[in-house]
């Protein structure tokens, strides 16, 4: 392949990813009726470019859904090398909640014939997600910071339940708080002191 063809393909992939990112935000903010013309304009491309990548709204939504799953897999690998073991578990679970929230937003448009089935979450196999979280849990256990009190599959099921509990306001902060509770329940006593969310200085009280 010559240089010009590689450049065109690279440009096309950048446009596709930009459209996915803009559409993800647009659907979250304005619902599934968000204008495709506005999405293309915000992404800096023409509506024809959008339709070349995503001939229908359903195909755009389906790709957003599957992109969430791909991000989770990449995140598991990156967190394993960039974060402390317990923090890596907490950060990945928070990303998983966000992906499930995106799934709820998109669920009314996802095409059952092309999107994930009952054995998939976020566009990838449930087994793959279990494996990703299991790797982070194993790393935390081997470090001595976490006790394995729950299987990765059971933890994912618990988190999926959290994602369905939606409050009218402060959903993100509520989800993070619930994740902290889950993670603290899995950590060793000496680790909990490090992992426990710190109170603000104004609320802290001195103890004798």
pLDDT of residue 172: 62
pLDDT of residue 200: 39
The mean pLDDT value for 93-113 works out to 68
Confidence of residue 18 (pLDDT cuts 50, 70, 90): very high
Sequence-distant (6+) residues with CB within 8 A of 78 are none
Kindly compute the dihedral angle of the four CA atoms of residues 90, 93, 94, 97, in this order, to the nearest 10 degrees: -160
Kindly compute the dihedral angle of the four CA atoms of residues 195, 196, 200, 202, in this order, to the nearest 10 degrees: -130
Q: Looking at the predicted structure, is the pLDDT value of residue 16 above 90?
A: yes
C-alpha 162/C-alpha 164 separation (Å) is: 5
Q: Pick the closest to residue 67 from 123, 129, 18 (CA basis).
A: 123
DSSP assignment of 127-154 equals HHHHHHHHHHHHHHHHTTSB---S-HHH
If DSSP codes are grouped into helix, strand and coil, which group holds residue 115?
A: coil
The mean pLDDT value for 165-189 works out to 71
In whole numbers, what is the pLDDT of the chain averaged over residues? 77
| pTM of the predicted model as reported, rounded to 2 decimal places | 0.68
Is the separation of the CB atoms in 84 and 93 below 8 Å?
A: no
Q: Looking at the predicted structure, is the pLDDT value of residue 199 above 80?
A: no
C-alpha 52/C-alpha 1 separation (Å) is: 22
Highest-confidence range of 51-65, 92-106, 160-174, by mean pLDDT?
51-65
Q: Looking at the predicted structure, is the pLDDT value of residue 50 above 90?
A: yes
Stronger pLDDT, 137 or 170, i.e. the higher one: 137
Q: Worst-scoring range by mean pLDDT, 24-38, 43-57, 105-119, 150-164?
A: 105-119
Token pair of 39 as six digits = 């999405």
The mean pLDDT value for 46-69 works out to 90
CA separation, residue 172 to residues 26, 85, 185 (Å)? 18, 22, 20
Q: Looking at the predicted structure, is the pLDDT value of residue 171 above 50?
A: yes
Convert the pLDDT of each residue in 116-167 to its tens digit.
Answer: 444 455 545 677 788 889 999 999 999 988 876 678 888 888 777 766 665 5
If DSSP codes are grouped into helix, strand and coil, which group holds residue 197?
A: coil
C-alpha 133/C-alpha 129 separation (Å) is: 6
pLDDT of residue 204: 40
Token pair of 103 as six digits = 């799934």
pLDDT of residue 126: 72
Is the separation of the CB atoms in 163 and 104 below 8 Å?
A: yes
Domains of the chain: 1-55 (1.10.10.60), 57-195 (1.10.357.10)
Q: Hey, CA dihedral for 49, 70, 88, 158, is it positive or negative?
A: positive
Q: Looking at the predicted structure, is the pLDDT value of residue 192 above 70?
A: no
Helices of type H across the chain:
3-30, 36-43, 47-53, 57-82, 85-106, 126-142, 152-164, 171-184, 189-195
Stronger pLDDT, 104 or 115, i.e. the higher one: 104
């Amino acid at each position: 392949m010559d240089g010009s063809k590689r450049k065109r393909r690279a440009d096309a992939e950048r446009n596709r990813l930009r459209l996915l990112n803009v559409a993800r935000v647009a659907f979250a903010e304005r619902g599934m009726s968000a204008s495709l013309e506005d999405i293309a304009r915000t992404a800096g491309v023409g509506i024809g470019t959008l339709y070349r990548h995503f001939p229908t709204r359903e195909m755009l939504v389906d790709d957003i859904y599957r992109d969430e799953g791909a991000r989770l897999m990449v995140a598991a690998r990156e967190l394993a090398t960039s974060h402390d073991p317990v923090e890596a578990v907490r950060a990945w679970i928070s990303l998983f909640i966000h992906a499930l929230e995106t799934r709820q937003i998109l669920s009314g448009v996802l095409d059952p014939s092309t999107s994930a089935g009952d054995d998939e979450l976020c566009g990838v196999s449930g087994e793959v997600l279990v494996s990703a979280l299991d790797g982070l849990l194993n790393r935390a256990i081997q470090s001595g910071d976490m006790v394995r009190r729950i299987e990765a599959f059971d933890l994912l099921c618990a988190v999926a339940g959290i994602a369905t509990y939606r409050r009218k306001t402060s959903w993100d902060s509520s989800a993070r708080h619930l994740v902290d509770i889950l993670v603290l329940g899995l950590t060793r006593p000496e680790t909990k002191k490090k992992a426990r969310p710190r109170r603000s200085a104004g609320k802290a009280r001195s103890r004798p």
